[in-house]
Structure 1
């Protein structure tokens, strides 16, 4: 695994489980990232707790060639045996929950393995799955502050995570490309969701893609392994994280993103991240200080 252009890192907490390890890592990125990742016998999951650096993107260059880079979401999965090239344009600090799970722990639920098609590889770079997110958050919590019965609990959570990852992989359609959305439609959706202002309706997105709402929702689930509603909610939280780094008021951010009230924004943000918007902003300000 290459180490160039990645700054330094500090492991803030670590948890060892049978068949898996979990770390909370603080990366200090002193320049744009340009790094190669590869694991032979482990699945590697990364949940970014802070906004990813500007234009974070990944490329399975041995499969796609050197020029096709796709956007990274806040959860990414590197399958064993695959090589992922990650680049960013920005620098700064990033905090991630990094979980490595032995190959056999997940493959046992896949009938011994799975074919990593182009669609599955693309979906691995932006996982929007509430159960996977919840498991990673809980493991991070146990790593930071283990409690009574922690050994048993963490084994159970890791086991659930392995099953949820296997199910996610299986949910990505294996059929012909007509079973999912074309990549240009997925890019249209992502670009529309990243515009300032309230999130679009399903009808608006369907019209944008020249599809019916039914075609949009079924095709998106087939392509990304999550519902388009989950993806919209995830994108809105990611936009909120970026805006909380500005001087805009939390109330203004809430209404600007289409939330009915600051309290509904705080509830959605806390459910997704484990902390309130105000706490997130305070942490960001602390890091800049």
Structure 2
């Protein structure tokens, strides 16, 4: 049975000794601006529908009130940290929340994970396909529980713990290998939100004060993909947000700078394997 709490409705949940999982539906009557605090567990959040436009977050007790970083499809809040989340749009959003007991992670790794400024920022946008895949498997199991669901949740939570440990260590390695500073990545993300023209490599390099060669090398180290691939994926995510807001396909196409709706539909299908209409139908908006 669904449980309602303010603007959050719990659709389904599973629990195990070391982890708890919930499928939740958020409804925002106005652009959200809220602070939540995780006292005892790691909180992983996977957005199953596009996040509201310009979703971003801050750790006000660490960063002060002015610094916000992009909030990705998957983010992590460590225990004992207060996170403030904002966006520029209202509406509905579905997410999978997974909370993991830090004592279990201490036992597995015989150490605590370190959460300094660099690691906190990296945790707001976890672009790790393994983590996303494990979270999607938890979402499927929570929606349609089967035999030994509790044991499966515990096993996947343990895998997630391992991947998070590797991810955190990878953040340290990226810094040593010459990845881009968080403020440079933030400037690039902010530029990609500007419509309709996409930036050139030279423009982005000038924006962050690097040569094109330094930008392309550092960006690949930081994001594990090329600048071009990242720009293309960012445009896809922006298109999904527009389609989820019930903006017409035609308006979305021209806002994103396409010459015609048909060229947008072709590009969207090539990137996502479904048409804009099929995407809207899948997320419950019809055609």
For the residue of structure 2 that corresponds to 1:120, the secondary structure is helix
- Alpha-carbon spacing, 1:42–1:232, altered in 2? closer, same or farther (3 Å): farther
Shift of the alpha carbon at 1:39?
A: 1.6
> Which residue number in structure 1 is paired with residue 160 of structure 2?
161
CA distance in 1, matches of 2:66, 2:206: 30
> Which residue number in structure 2 is paired with residue 269 of structure 1?
272
> Which residue number in structure 2 is paired with residue 247 of structure 1?
248
TM superposition score normalised by structure 2: 0.78
Shift of the alpha carbon at 1:228?
A: 4.6
For the residue of structure 2 that corresponds to 1:173, the secondary structure is helix
5 Å-filtered alignment, 1:1-289, equals 7-108=6-107, 110-148=109-147, 150-173=149-172, 179-196=178-195, 205-206=204-205, 209-212=208-211, 215-220=214-219, 223=222, 226-228=224-226, 231-232=230-231, 234-244=233-243, 245-248=246-249, 256=258, 265-266=268-269, 268-269=271-272, 277-282=276-281, 286=285
CA deviation string 1:109-158 (max 9, x = no partner): 55411321211111111221111111111110111112455444443322
Shift of the alpha carbon at 1:106?
A: 3.5
CA distance in 2, matches of 1:214, 1:148: 53
TM superposition score normalised by structure 1: 0.77
CA distance in 2, matches of 1:176, 1:131: 22
- Alpha-carbon spacing, 1:78–1:154, altered in 2? closer, same or farther (3 Å): same
Please, what is the CA RMSD of the aligned residues? Answer: 3.7
Shift of the alpha carbon at 1:188?
A: 3.1
1:198 and 1:256 in contact (8 A); partners too: no
Shift of the alpha carbon at 1:15?
A: 1.7
Equivalent residue pairs, number: 276
CA distance in 2, matches of 1:108, 1:192: 42
CA distance in 2, matches of 1:281, 1:174: 40
For the residue of structure 2 that corresponds to 1:50, the secondary structure is coil
2:174 and 2:222 in contact (8 A); partners too: no
- Alpha-carbon spacing, 1:133–1:286, altered in 2? closer, same or farther (3 Å): same
Structure 2's unaligned 5+ residue stretches are none
Structure 1's unaligned 5+ residue stretches are 1-5
1:56 and 1:86 in contact (8 A); partners too: yes
CA distance in 2, matches of 1:276, 1:99: 31
CA distance in 1, matches of 2:31, 2:252: 33
